[in-house]
Structure formats: C-alpha cells, structure tokens
C-alpha cells in the first residue's frame, strides 16, 4: 500500500487522482492512501436534499456534488484530508467496519496531541465532547473505496460558517489548534498519522525522492508521483464568486 502526500491542490485535481488510483486498484489490486490539503471548496453528496448548502449563490467558494455519502462540508487550507483507495473485497466487504477503522485511526491520532476524540451514536465522524473535529464520507465502486476523512487542524474555521456542516443544525466545528490554543502544523499532524495508518491499514514510511512528496509503502519498493489524472464526472454546482 502506498500513501502519497500531494500538498495543497484543488478539488477537481484531487478527485481525478483518486479516480486514477481507484482504476489501478480495480485492475491490479494496488492500494493507495492520498493525503493532501484542498484549496477552499464546498462538497456535498448526491442527495435530493441540499439544504445544508443554504444559499449556493452566496457561497464564497465553489461547490461540487460528489459521489460520497453525507451532506455539505468545507475543505480548505489547514485541514488534513485523507483519501484511502482500498479494496474491501479482501476486507470482508464490510463498509461499516471500514468506517469504524477510519474513526479509530483519527481518535488514536488525536490522543497523540492530548485530545480525547469520541464517536457520537448515529453520527459518522469524530468529536471532542460535543464539537465536531473530523468528518468522514466515503464512496465505493465495485467494493473499492474513495473519498475518506477530513481532520480540522488550523484554528481558522470560518469556511464552515456559510453552510450547515454535515446537515447538523447548531453543530460547533473545532480543530486541533482551537482545542490546544496554539497553532499546530499540518506537517506535524501528518507525521503523527503515520503509525496509525500503519496499525489500521498496514503501511510504513519511505522517502519518495520527489521534492515535497512523502509516500508510505508496504515494502514493494515501488514509488509513484502524481501524473496523468483521469477525467471526472463530478458536478460543479456553482461558479467561484468573490470572497465574502
């Protein structure tokens, strides 16, 4: 299993890379975990009810309808996003177990920073008491996963103010930096994530030799950087407007 650090990229590029890795997994079983930050964007699952976006025409960033589960969320700088492309056919075809694995690795990661992450019955994601710190939404194609988790790291959470995050009225979003009262870097969180990915998904850290990119792999010695992203059928629901 490889894990690629892609840095900060726009949503469409990240999606196309996911699709490329998913097709590779379907064809030859190659699994990947993609780690990145996104440029500011709102996403929502393909649902009839899109009220969690509130007024789309007034949103300051683009909106994409995507093939994950769940209501509206925000992605942007200061948020660590993970997209595991893994084959559930060799993991018992149990999506609920997989979701709990994602929650487990985030809860374990938060403990490294002295924070007690918890689950909330009936709600996917991770919380600090009644404050939501990580969102999870996945898509599955022929039992291979895409999309994944978004962990808030930086204290600037203003991007969530224009929507109803995850469709949860009155929810308070939080982050590692907000809880600790000091800014924590994406790099330090990413580095701490490594052993938890190892424990839950089975990978280990190697240097890729590509500037700005680190990958995890399972000993096969095969490193790969981003190239030739595929087309996507994801739908852009809005044009970029001026920031508010």
Instruction: Kindly tell me the burial class for residue 39, based on how many C-beta atoms sit within 10 Å of its own C-beta (0-12, 13-18, 19 or more).
Output: middle
Contacts of 83 (CB under 8 A, 6+ apart): 14, 18, 33, 34, 35, 36, 146, 147, 148
Catalytic residue among 106, 146, 166, 189: 166
CA gap 194, 75 in Å, rounded: 21
Tokens of 193: 């994530």
Cβ neighbours of residue 6 closer than 8 Å, sequence gap 6 or more = 14, 17, 34, 35, 36, 213, 226
CA distance 159 to 42: 9
Does 166 qualify as catalytic in the annotation?
A: yes
The rounded distance, in Å, linking the Cα atoms of 223 and 207 is 9
Residues 6+ apart with CB under 8 A from 177: 78, 153, 154, 155, 183, 184
Contact 89, 143 (CB under 8 A): yes
Which residues carry out catalysis? Answer: 166
């Amino acid at each position: 299993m490889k894990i690629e650090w892609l840095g900060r990229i726009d949503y469409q590029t990240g999606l196309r890379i996911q699709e490329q890795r998913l097709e590779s997994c379907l064809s030859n079983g190659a699994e990947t975990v993609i780690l990145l930050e996104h440029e500011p964007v709102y996403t929502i699952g393909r649902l009839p009810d899109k009220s969690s976006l509130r007024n789309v025409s007034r949103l300051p960033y683009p909106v994409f309808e995507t093939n994950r589960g769940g209501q509206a969320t925000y992605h942007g700088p200061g948020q660590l996003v993970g997209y595991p492309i893994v084959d559930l056919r060799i993991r018992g075809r149990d999506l609920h177990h997989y979701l709990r694995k994602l929650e487990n690795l985030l809860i374990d990661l938060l403990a490294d920073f002295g924070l007690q992450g918890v689950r909330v019955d009936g709600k996917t994601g991770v919380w600090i008491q009644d404050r939501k710190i990580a969102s999870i939404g996945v898509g599955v194609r022929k039992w291979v996963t895409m999309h994944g988790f978004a962990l808030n790291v930086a204290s600037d959470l203003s991007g969530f103010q224009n929507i109803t995050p995850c469709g949860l009225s009155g929810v308070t979003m939080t982050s590692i930096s907000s809880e600790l009262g000091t800014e924590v870097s994406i790099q330090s969180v990413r580095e701490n994530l490594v052993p938890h990915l190892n424990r839950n998904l089975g990978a280990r850290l190697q240097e890729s030799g590509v500037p700005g990119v680190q990958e995890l792999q399972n000993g096969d010695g095969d490193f790969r950087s981003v190239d030739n992203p595929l087309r996507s059928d994801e739908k852009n629901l809005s044009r970029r407007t001026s920031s508010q």
